[in-house]
Structure 1
Amino acid sequence: MNNEIIIRKMALTDIDAVMRVEKESFSTAWTMEIFYQELTENPHAHYFVIEYNGNIVGYAGLWIVFDDAQITNIAILPSYRGKKLGERLFQHMMHHALIHGVCRLSLEVRQSNIVAQKLYRKFGLVPGGIRKHYYTDNQEDAIVMWVNIK
């Protein structure tokens, strides 16, 4: 196979595949209804999927409000990690934010998720604070990371 990678806007018809990624990636998964609302009712939401050889293997979401952007989530199926797909998807999200006039980008990441933190640091994000007991499944703290991109 040629390992074709495509990143495109998420469509409503992608939600089932995105739910597979969501459930395999997070202990507290979003529901189908949340994704549906994000795609149909949130004017600030921008969601993308990444396809690998025609299969959706990851997705990412971003809210853009004026010149601020917040990554809501980013996930790659565990069996496809280590192929730099998360890096490609994150780069796409940053580029999308830039062309929409964003000056600052932020996100929350689990304190224990060192792999994700390393990825975000590659793109210039730095820790800016802690959200105590942010994650409801185990009360783990979140590190708020941010970067000025303009």
Structure 2
Amino acid sequence: MDSLKIKSLEDRDLGQVLAIEEEAFSNPWSFSTFIKELHNNYAYYLVGLIEDELVGYLGCWLLCNEVHITTLAVKKEYRCQGIATQLLDELFTNVKKANYQKVSLEVRASNNRAQKLYKQAGFIKVGRKQEYYSDDQEDAIVMWKQL
């Protein structure tokens, strides 16, 4: 596999991000949601590229001393190749430099693969939100990582 280049999300990346979003999630975000996120001063997005192909992305909000991951997805044919881990590592490096102290997220209770990824990245399970997801009322597992 060619090396992954990580950069900030730009308007021109949205088409490829939306394609991954629709492939990865049962209730994908819309184009207008991503436009709002892209222009939200509290939102921070990274994308991973192999050559010119966008293969994954990560989004979060920067709140006081905490970073809250809102989304993370990798293109189907590139999963299990370390791309999500590299995106997380880049996020941790960047937000640590800006003196953020904690990273939080919610993940579907049924998404064991993502929970394993987050545990390997140093997150711990700290709670559960009942019927968190609006599309099917699935519970969310709340996880934190201290930086």
With normalisation by structure 1, the TM-score equals 0.94
Q: Hey, what's the Cα distance between the residues in 1 that align with 2:26 and 2:98?
A: 32
State the number of aligned residues: 147
Q: Hey, what's the Cα distance between the residues in 1 that align with 2:13 and 2:86?
A: 19
The one-letter amino acid of 1:103's match is: Q
Moved runs in structure 1, 4+ residues, more than 2 A?
A: none
8 Å CA contact 1:9, 1:48 repeated in 2: yes
The one-letter amino acid of 1:26's match is: F
User: In the alignment, does 2:75 pair up with 1:77?
Assistant: yes
Percent of aligned positions that are identical: 35
Structure 2 stretches lacking a partner, 5+ long: none
With normalisation by structure 2, the TM-score equals 0.96
After superposition, the CA RMSD in angstroms is 1.0
- What is the CA-CA distance between 1:134 and the residue it aligns to? 0.9
The one-letter amino acid of 1:140's match is: E
8 Å CA contact 1:62, 1:93 repeated in 2: no
**Corresponding position of 2:53:** 55
8 Å CA contact 1:67, 1:103 repeated in 2: yes
Secondary structure of 2:114's counterpart equals: helix
Write the deviation string for residues 118-150 of structure 1: whole angstroms up to 9, x where unpaired.
11111211111111111122211000000111x
The one-letter amino acid of 2:18's match is: M
8 Å CA contact 1:49, 1:60 repeated in 2: yes
Write the deviation string for residues 10-63 of structure 1: whole angstroms up to 9, x where unpaired.
0011111100010000010001111111111x1111001101232001100011
Q: How does 1:85-124 map to 2 (within 5 A)?
A: 85-124=83-122
Secondary structure of 1:137's counterpart equals: coil
